[in-house]
Amino acid sequence: MIVTFGSINADLIYLVDQIPEAGQTILARGSRTEAGGKGANQAIAAARDGANVAMIGAVGKDAMAPIALQNLEREVDISRVVRLEEPTGSAAVMIDADGRNMIAVAAGANLAAKSDGVEDELLRNASFVLLQMENDVVQIENLIRRVAKHSAKSILNLAPARKLDPDLLSLVDIVIVNEDEAEALSSWLGCEPSARSLSDALNTGVLRTMGGKGAEAFLHGKKESVPALPIDAVDTTAAGDCFVGVLASALDRGFPLDAAMRRAAKAAAIACSRPGSQSSIPRSDETDNWA
């Protein structure tokens, strides 16, 4: 079983010809609302790939909460998601004609989510615990330390990049970063941004996604890499979260890291090829059958 402690958002999505510059007002070609949040996206991706997933987080008691929970409540155990007086987390997403995006997130209730919602019994039954950086840092740090005392393995998606103590990061089994996050992490550690250099500096596993250049990982003294798959990108909004969730699902089923990375890359490519946040994340049979 996979436990996800993370953000739960309602996404406000605007389709634009190009991302506006500072001070510029533009007309969008269209808009929509969707469920989002890095934690929720990764939980959905893992569940659709076949994993049993429990989500721990928080939403408000406002009109945004049903939007944020609409997919989770059908596909994931949300019995530990709490309703608080703070507003539900939200994100404003602008997507240009080339599928590139720019996102601003208001954390809202996510910052009030408590990691003690992940009880010890749940940790004892979990194989992997997924975390991201859209919640309160203290809660994330506390959960990393608790997971290290149990048999579950932790996967931390250091997104958005926020500075954590290297000794704490060394307790994580796999740290996942994209190119920008790898650059930030390497600047804090004083090393190169490659997966191997980051792994050596932290003494733990590191996986770096590199967009059109694929992904690389260094874990237990071994390097793995997978190429990017050729696609015409329509919308990259949840592709990174899709990669992380499917990777965790594949590892949960016993895939070796290289095979898990290939499956995650395939699922992320599918997500890039169609519009939407959680709506773009494929189900396992789609990933199985995608050429």
pLDDT in tens, 165-184: 999 999 999 999 999 999 99
The total of structural domains in the chain comes to: 1
pLDDT in tens, 58-81: 999 999 999 999 999 999 999 999
Query: If 0-12 CB within 10 Å is exposed, 13-18 middle and 19+ buried, where does residue 186 land?
Result: middle
Q: Does residue 8 have a pLDDT over 80?
A: yes
Q: Give the range of the structural domain holding residue 285, as residue numbers without chain letter.
A: 2-19+30-289
Within-domain flag for 98: yes
Distance CA 80, CA 139 (A): 15
Question: What are the strands, taking DSSP E only, across the chain?
Answer: 2-5, 9-15, 30-36, 53-56, 58-59, 82-83, 89-95, 101-106, 128-131, 153-157, 174-177, 205-209, 215-219, 222-226
Within-domain flag for 123: yes
> Tokens standing for 18?
């190009």
Within-domain flag for 135: yes
pLDDT of the residue at 235: 77
How large a percentage of the chain has pLDDT more than 90?
86
Within-domain flag for 102: yes
Rounded to 5 degrees, φ, ψ at 20 are -70, 155
pLDDT band at 191 (very low <50, low <70, confident <90, very high): very high
Q: Does residue 238 have a pLDDT over 90?
A: no
> Tokens standing for 238?
């949840």
Which residues partner with 175 through β-bridges? 156, 206
Q: Does residue 42 have a pLDDT over 70?
A: yes
pTM greater than the 0.85 cutoff: yes
Quick check: 215 and 209 in contact, CB under 8 A? yes
pLDDT in tens, 94-129: 989 888 888 888 999 999 999 999 999 999 999 999
pLDDT band at 233 (very low <50, low <70, confident <90, very high): confident
Within-domain flag for 24: no
Give the mean pLDDT of the chain: 94
Rounded to 5 degrees, φ, ψ at 217 are -145, 155
11 is annotated as an active-site residue: no
Distance CA 84, CA 109 (A): 7
Angle at which helix 38-48 crosses helix 239-252, to 10 degrees, equals 50
pLDDT in tens, 135-149: 999 999 999 999 999
3-state secondary structure of 133: coil
Within-domain flag for 189: yes
Distance CA 169, CA 174 (A): 9
Amino acid at 5: F
Within-domain flag for 25: no
Closest CA to 249 of 287, 209, 213, 216: 287
Quick check: 195 and 205 in contact, CB under 8 A? no
pLDDT band at 291 (very low <50, low <70, confident <90, very high): low
Strand order in the sheet with 9-15: 30-36, 9-15, 89-95, 101-106
Catalytic residue chosen out of the listed positions 49, 62, 235, 241: 241
CATH number, residue 238: 3.40.1190.20
Angle at which helix 179-189 crosses helix 195-202, to 10 degrees, equals 40
